[in-house]
A and B are shown apart, each in its own frame.
Chain A
Amino acid sequence: MSTPPATPRKRLPLAPLAAIAAVVAVAGIGFLYVAGRLGDTPPSARTLIGAIEAAAGPHPGYRRAHSRGVCVGGWFEGTADGAALSSARVFAQDRVPVLGRLSIGGGDPHGAEAGARVRSLALQLRSDDGADWRLAMNSFPFFAVPSAEAFLEQTRAQIPDPATGKPDPARMAAVLAKYPSARAFRDWAASAPWPDSWANTTYNGIHTFVFVAPDGRRQPLRWSLRPRVPLVAMDAAARAAATPDYLAAEFARRLAAGPVAWDLVATLPAPGDALDDPSQLWPAARPTRTLGTLWLDTMAAQAQGVCRDVNFDPTVLPPGIERSGDPILAARAAVYAHSFNRREREIARGQAPEATGQEGPR
């Protein structure tokens, strides 16, 4: 090693050092800002999942929303109408295996099933070309709010006030006053019949998706799963008298008698119908196409069922189906990802004995 030449001691090069520090600091702070680590302005996906957790309370290992449910399995058979609208393999393949989850709305994994206003069905269709289609559908026909920010406002209004243990009615009133769709949703909740089974419930995709035909033609549409089992409504007295696992027990009895079917029906918009706003319902007279039929024939508890570790992110789509610009759809992808990360982390750390069925008798 050579000896460095003796140089006269120089003054510290302050200006270039400051410039280097500034470059590093600006880049570092910029990253922290984009990562949403410098506060909640603007609100981030973590802000929203935090509000959802605060509204429901801690339930380690469970989904942060629609926490109570069961795993189901079955198959999907597409129609020629479906194959004409989309090049997705699911519509051309004979039978596509389906993994799914029937659930109730809300973040309480112990909520009484019959008393839940919202019922949900999530599906994963994996066709033989390896493509993956995930659907997350609900019994409500439209979303209560038009934007991710409004969804955050609505969720925050549902957080219990520490003083009373209940949400502040004034905050919810403010959300209702601000958003006409929130009032329409309240009216739907007050008037729509309560199906007495997961099997006779209609599940709506609510968001607009774009089907891309084999010839490249693009058709925006919204889909619903319409039950083949006729609707039987449940009145308030029957709901109050039902056991907490009423829907799961009822569905198990039904499956014992044979598979349960829904038709996947697409509604096509007219010019002027809202494509990017799931809070705007399309008029009932719009034309429809039947895309296929879903059959469910198996069911398993979610604690050790396959659906537990699946994130039913509705933006996971096969080639031939594309997302619209709907901001609620995009926000669902963001919060589902955080919900999935958090519950899988709790499961990995052994913090979720109940959610994974590892718990001893209580």
Chain B
Amino acid sequence: MNPAARFVPLARLLHWLMAALLLSQLLIGVAMMASLVLRPPLIALHRPLGLALLVLVLVRLWVRRRHPPPALPADLPRWQAAAARASHLLLYALMLVLPLLGWALSSAAGNVVVVPGDVALPAIAPHDPVLYAWLRAAHGLLAWLLLATVLGHVAAALHHAWIRRDGVFEAMTWGRRPPPGTG
């Protein structure tokens, strides 16, 4: 592993931008289902934000393909390396699937997704109660799974930053790297 290896700046920018938007999106999602009076403004945010996140994750996958991420430290226990691979695969899968599920469940409910600028998105699923019920259940469950995966990701990142101090966390930041051997 090249100890100076970092994600390319565009990948870092996309990571932190999406981190902020994704956490906001998850929070808006649970709040709009719970709130007595804030559902209309929150759903008006949730839909365009979901579409933006879908576009961003596609851009990010393209950037990742062109600029593969730095390798994990060679001394990382195998189970941790496997968990890192699996959780990143899960994060990308959920970031792709959740906006598509949201769009599809709106279509299955007979609702039109209108994004700012009064642009109505086309329906991507038939108006059907059975389909709606399953899509809606999947959207909710997978959103909680995404939150759990994100929290696991945060815990692992902080483990690298505060305990292992192996440069993995710093690969995604702009700050000075800790001198090696301070861990």
Residues of A within 8 A of B (CB): 1-2, 4-5, 13, 16-17, 19-21, 23-24, 27-28, 31, 34-36, 42-48, 129-132, 148-149, 152, 308-311, 315-316, 319, 323, 327, 329-331, 333-334, 337-338, 340-341, 344-345, 347-349
- Smallest CB–CB gap between A89 and chain B, Å? 10
Instruction: With CB as the reference atom, state the residue of chain B lying closest to A319.
Output: B118
Cβ contact of B30, chosen from A34, A48, A130, A323, cutoff 8 A? A34
- Measured between beta carbons, the chain B residues less than 8 angstroms from A310 are 110
Is there an interface contact between A345 and B133, defined as CB atoms closer than 8 Å? yes
Instruction: With CB as the reference atom, state the residue of chain A lying closest to B119.
Output: A130
Cβ contact of B158, chosen from A23, A46, A129, cutoff 8 A? A23
Q: How many residues of B contact A (CB 8 A)?
A: 39
Is there an interface contact between A20 and B158, defined as CB atoms closer than 8 Å? yes
**13 A–B contacts from the bound complex (CB under 8 Å):** A1-B74, A20-B162, A31-B30, A34-B27, A130-B120, A148-B36, A152-B36, A309-B109, A311-B109, A315-B40, A329-B40, A338-B33, A344-B133
- Which 10 pairs between the two chains have the least Cβ-Cβ distance? A348-B133, A36-B34, A35-B30, A16-B162, A330-B37, A4-B75, A334-B39, A44-B34, A130-B120, A348-B130
Is there an interface contact between B36 and A331, defined as CB atoms closer than 8 Å? yes
- Smallest CB–CB gap between A9 and chain B, Å? 14
Is there an interface contact between B36 and A23, defined as CB atoms closer than 8 Å? no
Is there an interface contact between A43 and B40, defined as CB atoms closer than 8 Å? no
- Measured between beta carbons, the chain B residues less than 8 angstroms from A338 are 33
Is there an interface contact between A344 and B36, defined as CB atoms closer than 8 Å? no
Cβ contact of A340, chosen from B109, B112, B118, B137, cutoff 8 A? B109
Q: A35-B34, A341-B136 are in contact. List 12 more A-B contacts (CB 8 A).
A: A2-B74, A23-B158, A35-B31, A43-B36, A131-B120, A327-B36, A329-B40, A330-B40, A333-B40, A337-B33, A344-B129, A348-B129
Cβ contact of A27, chosen from B114, B118, B151, cutoff 8 A? B151
Main secondary structure of the interface of B (DSSP, over half): helix
Is there an interface contact between A348 and B120, defined as CB atoms closer than 8 Å? no
Residue from B30, B36, B40, B136 having most chain A Cβ neighbours under 10 A: B36
Is there an interface contact between B39 and A337, defined as CB atoms closer than 8 Å? yes
B147 within 8 A of A: yes
Is there an interface contact between A34 and B31, defined as CB atoms closer than 8 Å? yes
- Measured between beta carbons, the chain A residues less than 8 angstroms from B130 are 347-348
Is there an interface contact between A45 and B34, defined as CB atoms closer than 8 Å? yes
Is there an interface contact between B154 and A23, defined as CB atoms closer than 8 Å? yes
Is there an interface contact between A13 and B163, defined as CB atoms closer than 8 Å? yes
Is there an interface contact between A19 and B34, defined as CB atoms closer than 8 Å? no
Q: CA separation between A315 and B42, bound complex, in Å?
A: 12
Tell me the B146-183 residues at the A interface (CB within 8 Å): 147, 151, 154-155, 158-159, 162-163
Q: CA separation between A333 and B33, bound complex, in Å?
A: 10
A24-B155 contact in complex given A45-B36, A334-B36, A348-B133, C-beta closer than 8 Å: yes
B80 within 8 A of A: no
Is there an interface contact between B111 and A34, defined as CB atoms closer than 8 Å? no
- Smallest CB–CB gap between A97 and chain B, Å? 14
